[in-house]
Amino acid sequence: MDNKIIERATEMYLTLGFKSVTMDDIASRMGISKKTIYQHFENKNDLVEAVTMHLFETISCGIDEIITLNQNPIEELFSIKDFVMQNLKNESTSPIYQLQKYYPQIHKTLMSRQFDKMGDCVIDNLKKGIEQGLFREDIHMELIARFYFAGMTSIKDAELFNPIQFSTKEVQETYLEYHLRGIATEKGIAVLEQLLKNNNQ
């Protein structure tokens, strides 16, 4: 039952926001009593924490699987972006904003785990890109990894990137292209532009 509650809560939180969805809403959607949920999760804070960690683990495992496909590092980043957006249901910035505002400690823990995971992945991606001649050899990998994480975090700011004005997909793809153009060699730019061309067809 734990997993069923987490799965349904995840779906509702990502669609409507962590603050907006009540325990009553989840119970009603599942056709169970609120008491049943409280037998598995002491309070809403516990459920929100379980949902965010479940999402993190699901996405982390998916990213690990993508990395084993041995795509070139530019294709790899686009594949990861698509996978993450699919699992977050192309979420608007609202759920993350609500998590940060109303559950700051959970958000802080999530950010820390994301930084550790993304930092390692980006460093490995940069190393592969340099080895394959797609990324410049003179880049500062530790700094670039932090720039990338900071950017990925900042583009979820609903005040800076109003989802009514900019779609999540557009923001994510534009940011990824921005990141890659900053570090790519001529060979890398050619691969990127071919990939963008194929995606727009």
Residues 83-94: tens digit of each pLDDT: 988 887 655 556
Pair 22, 103: CB distance under 8 Å: no
- Domain positions in the chain are 53-199
CATH class, domain 53-199, is: mainly alpha
pLDDT computed for residue 129 by the predictor: 98
pLDDT computed for residue 94 by the predictor: 67
Residues 153-167: tens digit of each pLDDT: 888 887 888 888 988
Residues 1-54: tens digit of each pLDDT: 789 999 999 999 988 889 889 999 999 999 999 999 999 999 999 999 999 999
pLDDT computed for residue 189 by the predictor: 98
Residues 118-147: tens digit of each pLDDT: 889 999 999 999 999 999 999 999 999 999
pLDDT computed for residue 188 by the predictor: 98
